[in-house]
Every structure is written in C-alpha cells, then in structure tokens.
Amino acid sequence: MIIVDTALRQRAAEGRPIRVGLCGIGFMGKGIVNQILNYVPGMTLAAIINRTPEHAASCLTELGTTSFEEVGSAAALNDCVARGHIAITGDPRIACESGCLDVLVEATGAIEYGAVVSMLAIEHGIPLILMNAEIDSTVGPLLKKKADEKGSIVTGCDGDQPAVQLNLCRFVQSIGLTPRVCGNIKGLQDHYRNPTTQEGFARQWGQSPSMVTSFADGTKISFEQAIVANATGMKVAQRGMTGWEYKGHVDDLVKRYDLDQLRELGGVVDYVVGAQPSPGVYVFAECHDKHQAHYLNYGKLGEGPLYSFYVPYHLTIFEVPISIARVALFKDDIISATHGPMVDVVATAKIDLKAGDVLDGLGEYKTYGVCENSAVVHNDRLLPMGIAEGCTLKRDIARDAVITYDDVELPKNSLAVKLRLEQDQVFFG
C-alpha cells in the first residue's frame, strides 16, 4: 500500500491519472464510484457501463457530480473523456473499443453479462478486475489463459475475501512459511434461505434479496473459496468444505486440522461460522525448522505445527482502487486462477425439484452452491452452479442432491455455458 499511494500521488502530480471504466453501478459499484471521485488521487472515472444508463446518471447525481453524459459510440466516449466528463453507456463494446481505458472493473455479479464483458476486455487487451466472484469461479481459469495469451490481466480485487486471503498468503510465503489452510469467517450459513426470508435484511442495506440470499445460503462463500483454491493450488477436504461452527477465536482452530492430510492435499480452503474476528479471513501456515518455530513462539504465535495469521475485516469497495493501481501501475495480479481449476461450485437442490422445472438464478429458491474438487466435478459430470440458471430438469431431484449434466438440458445461446464447456475441454480433455 505504501508503494501504491506514493505512485498514485506521482500520477496526480504529473496530470496522468489512471482512467477507469466501471461495469455495473449497483450496491458495490456505487461505493467504488464514490471512492474514485472523492478520495483517490491519480485516478479518474472515465466511463460507467450499465445496462440501465439512467440509473448510472441518477447515482452520479446523488454522489454530487454533474460532469457526465451518455454516449453512443467509441468516438463520442473518447471525446467525452477528453473534456473531463464521465461517459455513460449501456454498451460494453463501446467502452472496450474506445481505447481510452487503462483498467476495466466488472462489478455486476451477473454471470452471463460478466462473461460478455470479460471476453470484450480480453479481446481488446484491457486489464480486467473482476469484482464478480461468480464468473471468476465458473470460468476464471479459461479467462486467465485467454488473457495471458493476449499479454493482458484478468484478476480479482482487494477488499473481497478471496484477495484478502491471497494477500495474507503472499505475506506468509514472504516470511518463509507454507500456507496450509485459507479460510473465511462467516456469521451465518443456512442452505435453505431464499429471497423471501432475506427480504428485510436486503432492504435494510439497499441490496437485492437474491444477492443477500447467496451470502446466507453458502453459494457466495463457495464461489469465493473456489477462487482461492484456483489461485493457490489448494483443494477442499470434503464436499462443501469442513465449515465448523465455532464461537471462539479463529486462532483456536489450528489444532483441528490433520497436518498430514493438509500436506497431501496441497492445503485446503475452508470456512468457519461464528468465530472471531468477524468478518475476517485467516491463513494457517507451517514453518520448516526449529529456528523458525522458536521465533514464532517468541512472537506469541504458539508452538505449532500450524500458526494462525488473520485479517479481522474485509473492506469491500474501499480497497478496489488499490487493485486498480496495482494492475495499472505495476501489472500486479491480485488473485487469479494460476493453478487452473482446482475447486468448483456445484449446483445442489434447495428444495425437491421436478422434471421440467427450469432452474432459477443464484440466491433464489431452487438451488444453492457447494464446493467440490474439480477432478471430482469433471469425473462425475457435476453441474457447475455458475451455468445452472436456465437449465431444464430431465428428472426429479431430491432436496440436497447435487445436480449433474445428465440431469439437465443446458440453455442454448449462453456465452457462459460455451466458455465453461471450452474450459472443461482445455483443462480436462
């Protein structure tokens, strides 16, 4: 962070701010805009891409700026930005073809739309920051491969739990330890929550009931931990992760893991419900000689063999500009699927389902997602949660049963489905 803020001040002094495009101005997008407009030197919001441009305009007005206009072409977008205004468009192609963006942030959380935006960014060589765990978990390994081939970047971002875990992993590795567990601390987990049960909480925070439900029913944390696994080479110890409920401090959990199993698996991703500090993340790491162990004990980290490191918070939108600067100024990959597909999220029946049912979206009424190791997902033909929406069931599925490709007819003309099938072919043949 010290390097990043210094570099941003230098860009501000030189009058060469990083030009940012933001796709999606929902709950998270609005917060990102506020940060860039008001609190980050050396960075400017060049364009907002939103399926409803009028919503983008109303958000900008609420945030206190009138220097924006809607554009209908790449040339018009460039002209708008050159005059110091924020361009608004409903068409991501216009923004990607303009050539004026240093970084594009995808913050919609929508899988099909996220797939379209991701491919456009890669096609035009624009570094892409995904604040979209759903598309990242579903086809992140393929997107990374395609971006690498173009000499570009597709990465997650600071502020979300996956990147906070990876930042902590990088720190732990930098002091000579080996991460063995990457974990996420949750306050609630109930697979059977739905938009009706979560409506009040969603209204309180200005979020959509389906998004809030995906947090509560375990789908979101499954997507997030799959991203961490794909970035670290870790796996899950069992389907759905261990997911202990524990009300004490996360430090206490170091004694619950079998170190030999962790080594065999190459480490695991996991979560705990109810532990402190919430809503943070943790990494349990192993040291490698008696001298390290002695100094870790001296530093009050205990006697091992696992040592607990944690961050007691994740700051969502506040840290996104840090990622933008890391990518634009240092080409630093915050978190991406460097190990290919290690863990996937598979669609599981939330209720008893009937043949002919069409599966609804994430955080809705019919399915929830759980983690499974990618080799198992491939071998057993399990249906990825990220492409479940719009699938038509060929047979009845009992509650809590994992759905397979053989159980469904996939939706036609879906880019996300096309990319997922391509990813399976590329990595598993």
Closest CA relative to residue 135, chosen from 106, 92, 165: 106
SS3 19: strand
Closest CA relative to residue 335, chosen from 128, 179, 183: 128
In a domain, 405, yes or no: yes
Shared-domain flag, residues 272 and 347: no
Outline where 17-110 has alpha helix (H).
Answer: 27-39, 53-62, 74-82, 92-97
Shared-domain flag, residues 9 and 113: yes
Do the Cβ atoms of 213 and 193 come closer than 8 Å?
yes
Give me the mean pLDDT over the 265-290 stretch.
Answer: 97
Give me the mean pLDDT over the 351-358 stretch.
Answer: 98
Give me the mean pLDDT over the 363-367 stretch.
Answer: 97
Do the Cβ atoms of 248 and 278 come closer than 8 Å?
no
Instruction: Supply the pLDDT for residue 16.
Output: 97
Q: Region of 413 please: left (phi>0), alpha (psi -120 to 50) or beta.
A: left
Give me the mean pLDDT over the 76-103 stretch.
Answer: 97
Instruction: Please state the φ and ψ torsions of residue 203, each to the nearest 5 degrees.
Output: -65, -40
Instruction: Supply the pLDDT for residue 92.
Output: 97
Q: How far is CA 76 from CA 71, 88, 244, 366, in A?
A: 6, 10, 54, 44
Shared-domain flag, residues 301 and 322: no
Do the Cβ atoms of 186 and 157 come closer than 8 Å?
no
Instruction: Supply the pLDDT for residue 401.
Output: 98
Q: Is the pLDDT of residue 143 over 70?
A: yes
> Model pTM?
0.96
Do the Cβ atoms of 314 and 160 come closer than 8 Å?
yes
Shared-domain flag, residues 232 and 188: yes
- CA-angle at 40, arms to 36 and 46, nearest 5°: 40
Instruction: Supply the pLDDT for residue 390.
Output: 97
pLDDT digits (tens, 9 = 90+) for 210-219: 989 999 999 9
In a domain, 53, yes or no: yes
Give me the mean pLDDT over the 397-418 stretch.
Answer: 97
Closest CA relative to residue 397, chosen from 369, 361, 417, 367: 367
In a domain, 337, yes or no: no
* CATH code at position 95: 3.40.50.720
Shared-domain flag, residues 169 and 113: no
pLDDT digits (tens, 9 = 90+) for 147-158: 999 999 999 999
Confidence of residue 206 (pLDDT cuts 50, 70, 90): confident
SS3 208: coil
In a domain, 422, yes or no: yes
Instruction: Supply the pLDDT for residue 73.
Output: 97
The rounded mean pLDDT for the chain is 97
* CATH code at position 360: 3.90.1210.10
Report the greatest alpha carbon distance in the chain. 65
How much of the chain, in percent, has pLDDT values that exceed 70? 100
Q: Is the pLDDT of residue 74 over 80?
A: yes
Give me the mean pLDDT over the 127-131 stretch.
Answer: 97
Residue 423 in tokens: 């990813």
198 alpha-carbon distance from chain centroid: 22
Shared-domain flag, residues 356 and 288: no
Instruction: Look at the chain and report how many structural domains it folds into.
Output: 3
Confidence of residue 96 (pLDDT cuts 50, 70, 90): very high
Sign (positive or negative) of CA dihedral 290, 292, 296, 302: negative
State which of 330, 362, 388 marks the end of a domain.
Answer: 330
Shared-domain flag, residues 137 and 197: no
Shared-domain flag, residues 205 and 185: yes
Instruction: Supply the pLDDT for residue 2.
Output: 81
Shared-domain flag, residues 8 and 108: yes
Confidence of residue 202 (pLDDT cuts 50, 70, 90): confident
Do the Cβ atoms of 153 and 146 come closer than 8 Å?
no
Shared-domain flag, residues 353 and 409: yes
Give me the mean pLDDT over the 240-257 stretch.
Answer: 97
Q: Is the pLDDT of residue 123 over 70?
A: yes
Do the Cβ atoms of 374 and 228 come closer than 8 Å?
no
From CA 199, how far away is CA 426, in angstroms rounded?
A: 41
Q: Is the pLDDT of residue 225 over 90?
A: yes
Shared-domain flag, residues 107 and 232: no
Could you list the residue range(s) of the whole structural domain that residue 188 is in?
161-315
In a domain, 338, yes or no: no
- CA-angle at 337, arms to 334 and 341, nearest 5°: 160
Shared-domain flag, residues 39 and 182: no
In a domain, 336, yes or no: no
